[in-house]
Structure 1
Amino acid sequence: MKAARLYEYDPAMNVELRIEDVSPPTVTGPDEVVVKVGAAGLCRTDLHIIEGVWKDIMDAKGSLLPYVMGHENAGWVEDVGSAVTSVKPGDAVICHPHQSCGICLNCRYGHDMYCEHSLFPGLGLDGGFAEYFKTSERSLIKLNTGITPLEVAPMADAGITAYRAAKRAAGLMHPGAACVILGVGGLGHIALQCLKHTSGARIIAVDREPAAQVLAKELGADTVLDGGPDLVEQVRDLTGGGAHVVIDFVGELGVENICWKLLRKGGEMIVVGYGGKIEIPTLELVVNEIKIGGSLVGDYTELVELMELNADGKVRMHQTEYKLANINQAIDDFKHRRFTGRGVIVP
């Protein structure tokens, strides 16, 4: 099969993935499933992997290189293990990014992303930037009738990461409260749609890219700002003192140290993007009683919930498609923000 493999890390991202012929994965365990990839989302984490940000974590048991990235996958079941009963060859599926064990205490509580024995295709073992990849039955969700893998692949990670943050934000706000979304990219535009359908909050979308600003307006943001030097003053004026919740989908380039300044007293900042370092005087935390916390990928049931919102037409992925042979162009376009929303690799 054809696969795009990473051979070395490079902080300057001057390396390219190599398109090669490799042996396709095969079922070796009773709960395993081989999926024919219909589409695989391109994630900012993929850029960070190439940069070497994840090197120490991924190589803890020895170097993985060369290996196949791609952790936002959807496609059709190709082959199944002897114990698999919930899916069969030919079924269209989306794949939760974690392969969880199902028996540790975290799994029993339903927290797949905290699984003590989790595996992560595309981030620790071969993923979906290929014609086929292998996962487990526990990770699969059958798609609703009429929904194709191409339409939803990035929701396997970008979608549920955004949904998890939006769901948490919705629980913190009453109707009329203000929520600021920093970054209307592959995750931010999903969170915006989720908030529109799960809360009565007023949504302020912030992005410097004109195309992202247009998309935010189309998706129903109440206010769209360009993130200029007077952003803090603009938000405080619009909200009467600051936002109730700020969701930071950037997490670097200085944005992470602007976000907390957008909060009102008692407000909460949800950090999704990463790469930077938050610096805040402890006095600000105490006097204003603001909270700052991270948000990880959503769990299996949250992906089920998101698929229902998608099937009902309430949440859609805005994406640009690339053939597997053009994956390096997709990565470069993503790095330089030449498209809005998500990039999707189609084998």
Structure 2
Amino acid sequence: MKAVRLHRYHERPAVEEVRDPEPTGPFDVVVRVGGAGLCRTDLHIVEGQWADRSNVPLPYTLGHENAGWVHAVGSAVEHLSPGDAVILHPLITCGFCRACRSGDDVHCEASRFPGIDTDGGMAELLHTSARSVVKLAPGVEPASVAALADAGLTAYHAVKKALPLLYPGSTCVVVGAGGLGHIGIQCLRAMSATRVVVLDANEEALALTREWGADETVVADGKHVDRVLELTDGHGAQVVLDFVGERGAERDSWAMTRRAGSDFVIGYGGTVQIPAIDVISTERNVIGNLVGSYNDLVELMALNAAGDVHMLTQTYPLDAVNDAMDDLDAGRLRGRGILVP
């Protein structure tokens, strides 16, 4: 089969032929990939940012946002059949550790993460576990929802955690209107009565956010922090969802968070540097976010099936992976790039 393989850090991946995966365990599932999302994390992987965290031996196959059709199953899998349309939770989890038992399987003690520390789904076939598979609603095409497996899931997870803080009359600032941000806006609108203020440097992207549920938009032009403070009577927002996390956004997000407010760090690449006295004296919180649980994904897909959340996508053939990476890196993508084998 064809697969997008990373051979060396700081060099773009190549599309090449590799052996087809097969079920080897009773709960294994092999999925014929219908769409694999392209994430900024894939750029960070190529840059080597994950090298000392994933410890994955090179070469390996990229791709952690995957959907498709069941191709083959292990002997103990009874609830899935070849041909079922599915989306995949990004982690392969054990089901036995305390985190899994409590439904917090994103912190599974024995997890594997296709596309991060083992072969992923930028390929024609993907090996995963029955624990990771969510069936799609009838009529849903895998390529249209593939990126919900990470971009959507991560955004939903952050919004769900923030909901107790977002009472009617509160303000939530969404930093970044891209692949994650546009899902976060829709989740906020579907699940809360907060005022949604969206911040982005791209005015074209901002223009799209009104239809997703933004109440206010602010251009990131160097004066954006002051503008957000004006919109909140000088106090800042109860919650800031930072979907950028680099190039100064991590600094600005903290500055836009009010006393006792919460700065959710979702995007990354930069460094959060905050004097301890600022945390203590204002009782502000910094909250990390890493994808979401299997149940989070099921809930997100219910919102998608109801028409409350949809993914803006642009498709590319698998062989055009580096064109897609160029578009993402240059900011030309609106929503999420999807590789279709």
| TM-score normalised over the length of structure 2 | 0.98
Instruction: Give the secondary structure class of the aligned counterpart of 1:126.
Output: coil
Gaps of 5+ in 2: none
Gaps of 5+ in 1: none
Query: In the aligned structure 1, how far is the partner of 2:125 from the partner of 2:325?
Result: 20
Query: In the aligned structure 2, how far is the partner of 1:251 from the partner of 1:337?
Result: 15
Asked if the contact 1:319/1:340 (under 8 Å) is kept, the reply is yes
Q: Which runs of 4+ in 1 moved over 6 A?
A: none
* Superposition deviation, residue 287 in structure 1: 2.0
Asked if the contact 1:173/1:201 (under 8 Å) is kept, the reply is yes
Instruction: Give the secondary structure class of the aligned counterpart of 2:304.
Output: helix
Aligned position for 1:311: 305
Asked if the contact 1:100/1:138 (under 8 Å) is kept, the reply is yes
Aligned position for 1:26: 22
**Are 2:73 and 1:73 aligned?**
no
Deviates more, 1:211-220 or 1:136-145: 211-220
The amino acid of 2:214's aligned partner reads A
1:44-193 map, 5 Å = 44-59=40-55, 64-193=57-186
Query: In the aligned structure 2, how far is the partner of 1:173 from the partner of 1:56?
Result: 36
**Are 2:3 and 1:7 aligned?**
no
Asked if the contact 1:245/1:270 (under 8 Å) is kept, the reply is yes
Deviates more, 1:208-217 or 1:265-274: 208-217
Instruction: Give the secondary structure class of the aligned counterpart of 1:171.
Output: helix
* Superposition deviation, residue 157 in structure 1: 0.7
Superposed CA RMSD in Å reads 0.9
Cα-to-partner distance string for 1:214-261 (whole Å, 9 max, x where unaligned): 221221200111112222221111112211100111111111011111
**Are 2:34 and 1:38 aligned?**
yes
Instruction: Give the secondary structure class of the aligned counterpart of 1:110.
Output: coil
Query: In the aligned structure 1, how far is the partner of 2:14 from the partner of 2:285?
Result: 43
Query: In the aligned structure 2, how far is the partner of 1:211 from the partner of 1:231?
Result: 16
Query: In the aligned structure 2, how far is the partner of 1:69 from the partner of 1:173?
Result: 36
* Superposition deviation, residue 283 in structure 1: 2.1
Query: In the aligned structure 1, how far is the partner of 2:89 from the partner of 2:191?
Result: 22
Query: In the aligned structure 2, how far is the partner of 1:267 from the partner of 1:225?
Result: 20
Instruction: Give the secondary structure class of the aligned counterpart of 2:68.
Output: strand
The amino acid of 2:93's aligned partner reads S
* Superposition deviation, residue 209 in structure 1: 1.1
Cα-to-partner distance string for 1:25-49 (whole Å, 9 max, x where unaligned): 0111111000000000001111111
* Superposition deviation, residue 56 in structure 1: 1.3
Q: Across the two proteins, how many residue pairs are aligned to each other?
A: 340
* Superposition deviation, residue 21 in structure 1: 1.4
Deviates more, 1:308-317 or 1:118-127: 118-127
The amino acid of 2:7's aligned partner reads Y
Aligned position for 1:335: 329
Asked if the contact 1:6/1:66 (under 8 Å) is kept, the reply is yes
**Are 2:265 and 1:274 aligned?**
no
Cα-to-partner distance string for 1:132-176 (whole Å, 9 max, x where unaligned): 010000000000111110111000011110001111122211112
| TM-score normalised over the length of structure 1 | 0.96
Instruction: Give the secondary structure class of the aligned counterpart of 2:165.
Output: coil
